[in-house]
Chain A
Amino acid sequence: MENSSFEYLCRTKTGFGKNALDHLPSDLSAMDAKKPFVITSKAVAQSGVTAHLIDAFKESGIILGIWDNALNDNLVDTLRDLTDLYNNKGFDAIIALGGGVVADLSKILNIIVSKGPHALKECKGTDNIDAPLKPLVYIPSGICTGRETSRYACVAEYAYDSQFLMPDIAVIDPRMFSKAPWEDMVNEALRSFTNCLESYAKEDNPLIRSYAYTALGVIMEALPNIMESDLPNNNQSQDQEHLPLLAKASVINGYLISNCDTLVCRPLGKMISEKCSAPEGVCMAIILPYVLEFLCKDRETGRILLPLAGIERYCAIPDTQRFGKVLFIIREIINDFFRISNGRVPRTLEEAGLKQEDLAGIVESMSKRTDIESKALALILDNAMSGRSMTSS
């Protein structure tokens, strides 16, 4: 451990589980918030879940204002309108209810209303906010990516990276979730799975391991249910049981990506996804075993089996076999998704529709973001194209 050091920060208080929303009024009161501004989308509002939020505040004396028009376009204009609304109506906190767009809008609105209109430009970039902003709450209501609870926010050309963008509170209340397409759930699960496992393997940081261990435990519990639910044929979730579990893992994923800026699968999966038909999370999971094999080639790595297998199974497997078991578990998950989706979830990059001629471009872009050599990146991608194991090459 000589010369090693680590940092970890999660600014968010997280409430998980039954009736979690009911704790929100007192939590906001403790931050002196009397009039929060709820930002959500039409789709979320129409699903009826806002009624639970309103109910939770009914006898609190806190007045909610709800704006439900978050769309994907004209976000800069929208921000201007939201700033006027926030200031004119005297709001003093923000509740983001929904997914990525809502969270991005809310975070950037918070910069403007806390620091003034000039902050939209001045606070751009990394670490340009030097003090806490107004209270910000995040409530997931469906598919999440993890960025919602992260230190990142981006709308059009305005991109921010600051610890003060992590929400003060995240609340995962099963009542707030509506249905979501099965393949989106698979993508969300695999995205969190990949980020958490890579962080656990890569970072010599017991705090990162603790959060990743927890999230991986949740995902490993949710995966068999998602697989067995016979949902791929309906392509629409028939119950809301899995989404809160996945949201729990995604919220923790947001904390982890805020603390691990050298993850490989995350940017690489995004680049691959842009060139093929498979979504980001699926691409990330396909390359995960190869990236792990590369990252862990010179290190003791059996430990990463623990969050996947649990204490009992982990202890039973000899140290020398643990890493192999990790690769087996990851591949089994991907292969099972392939089977039960009748091939719609790919097992290899080739099946994902990635073309051989795109590989060089991806390697070139990725080599600018990581210290892994181009040759190694090319080998990872080449193997992941066909599903061949790294050791055979």
Chain B
Amino acid sequence: MYIPSYYEFCCKVKTVAGHGTLERIPGLLEAMGARNPMIITDKGVSQAGLATIVINAIEDKISIGSVEDDVPPDSDLKVVNHIASIYKKKACDSIIAVGGGSVLDTAKGVNIVVSEDADDLMQFTGAGALKRELKPLIAVPTTAGTGSEVTLVAVIADHDNNRKMLFTSYFLLPDAAIIDPRMTLTLPVHIAAPTAMDAMTHAIEAYICLSKNPLSDAHALEAIEMISNNIMAVMEAPDDGDARLALGTAATLAGIAFSNSMVGMIHTLGHSVGSVCHVPHGTCMSILLPYGLEYNMHKVGDRIAELLFPLAGAKVYATTPRQERAQKCVQYTRDMNQKLYEATNGIHARNLKEITDRDQNPMVPQSKLPEIARTALGDGSIFYNPEALEYDDCLMVLTAAWQGEKLDQSKVRKG
């Protein structure tokens, strides 16, 4: 077991996972002295009927102060301040956030404004601006991937000034995360596949990158095994509630793992493909996962080898010669992408050149790879990667991932 000389671990979020757990929300709020929650969600979640499922599950036991579904796909400062003003007008005393990353970010932003009794979120930028507990916040994730329900970060865009603001504080952690499979049961398989691989990447990078620690490792191992054991079950039977629950729970575990250990180059490059070419995050993660493992193999091959156990099971691990385990682990992630490609009738892309938009136009032209590589150098996660990356290294990895060819490990510069 790798034990750093000093490490910290914190996840103050009460995790409540299982069938029928939405019904627990009124009790959880009551225990925190809250009686009039505001539901924050977005139009997509509302239209999919998920907000209604939440409302039906709780309205007998608690009055709902307001339902706000105006959250844009990219969280927005004005929306945060506007929703906060409604919260105050309707005398709400807590928040239930139903949605993905943007909804969670917005809810965290609103919670800052209403808890501090302010009018504008801008008063609370910068580290250490928050000094006390905020109002009760319950997160109900509707995708099984991002892990936002257990992270202490909120990213809010200030579109007027064309910038993104980052808020980081333990006080931003939700009080509870509710993992109920009813929230993901209708998620189409071609979205479930990359979001699950997003969670898988969180867990794998948490386990192999520089800031790992024994507690993040333990969460990561559980998450990887749960995803590996259940992802194909969801592909084959999308209404399999148990498998959906397992993926949702695993995403939360992976979120806990990476928020206590950071992520590395798969995120570095993935963020950049996302920001330059507007590709969904999970798709970037799925494609880049094997390449991140190959690039770091000479540095952390022993850690990668251990991952064969949660990915493939005890028997495969024990019967694979020790020196072959790490490469087999990489092959296993490639095989998963291939199976997901087949299960989604080719929608789940296996390489960057296969990614298309709704009109079947390629989203990542090869000519964009240099811009993506340059963007990657400014991403904070690059510092936590076991092996250093410079521009040429990023371009080499991106080129291989674009073609869908294995990385030539002899060309990786060994620092």
Asked whether A9 lies within 8 Å of B15 as measured between CB atoms, the reply is yes
Given contacts A127-B31, A221-B1, contact A32 B8 (CB under 8 A): no
Secondary structure call for the A interface: mixed
A residues in contact with B256, CB < 8 Å? 207
Given contacts A5-B18, A7-B16, A207-B253, contact A311 B214 (CB under 8 A): no
Contact sample, A vs B, 26 pairs, CB 8 Å cutoff: A1-B246, A2-B242, A4-B18, A6-B15, A8-B14, A8-B15, A12-B10, A13-B8, A13-B9, A14-B8, A14-B10, A17-B3, A17-B7, A31-B132, A32-B131, A32-B132, A130-B31, A210-B219, A210-B222, A211-B215, A211-B218, A213-B218, A213-B221, A217-B214, A311-B309, A315-B315
* CB neighbors of B among A186-243 (8 A): 206-207, 209-211, 213-214, 217-218, 221
Given contacts A9-B14, A206-B249, contact A30 B317 (CB under 8 A): no
A residues in contact with B33, CB < 8 Å? 130-131
The 10 closest A-B pairs by CB, nearest first: A5-B18, A13-B10, A17-B6, A32-B131, A210-B218, A9-B14, A315-B318, A315-B314, A206-B222, A130-B33
B residues in contact with A14, CB < 8 Å? 8-10, 215
Chain B 100-125 interface mask (CB, 8 Å, partner A; 1/0): 00000000000000000000000000
B residues in contact with A5, CB < 8 Å? 16-21
The residue among A217, A311, A316 with the most chain B CB atoms within 10 A of its own CB is A311
> With contacts A7-B15, A30-B170, A221-B1 known, what are 14 further pairs, Cβ within 8 A?
A3-B20, A4-B18, A5-B19, A9-B14, A11-B12, A13-B8, A30-B169, A31-B132, A32-B132, A206-B250, A207-B256, A214-B215, A315-B314, A315-B318
B residues in contact with A163, CB < 8 Å? 14
User: Nearest residue in A to B245 (C-beta to C-beta)?
Assistant: A1
Chain B residues within 8 Å of chain A by Cβ, number: 53
A residues in contact with B133, CB < 8 Å? 131-132
How far, in whole Å, are A370 and B177 apart by their CA atoms in the complex?
Answer: 29
How far, in whole Å, are A8 and B306 apart by their CA atoms in the complex?
Answer: 27
A-B Cβ contacts below 8 A, count:
124
User: Nearest residue in A to B319 (C-beta to C-beta)?
Assistant: A315
How far, in whole Å, are A211 and B9 apart by their CA atoms in the complex?
Answer: 11
User: Nearest residue in A to B250 (C-beta to C-beta)?
Assistant: A206
* CB neighbors of A among B312-362 (8 A): 314-315, 317-318
B residues in contact with A11, CB < 8 Å? 12
Asked whether A130 lies within 8 Å of B215 as measured between CB atoms, the reply is no
Asked whether A311 lies within 8 Å of B306 as measured between CB atoms, the reply is yes
How far, in whole Å, are A17 and B5 apart by their CA atoms in the complex?
Answer: 5
In the assembled complex, A64 has its CB within 8 A of some CB on chain B: no
In the assembled complex, B128 has its CB within 8 A of some CB on chain A: yes
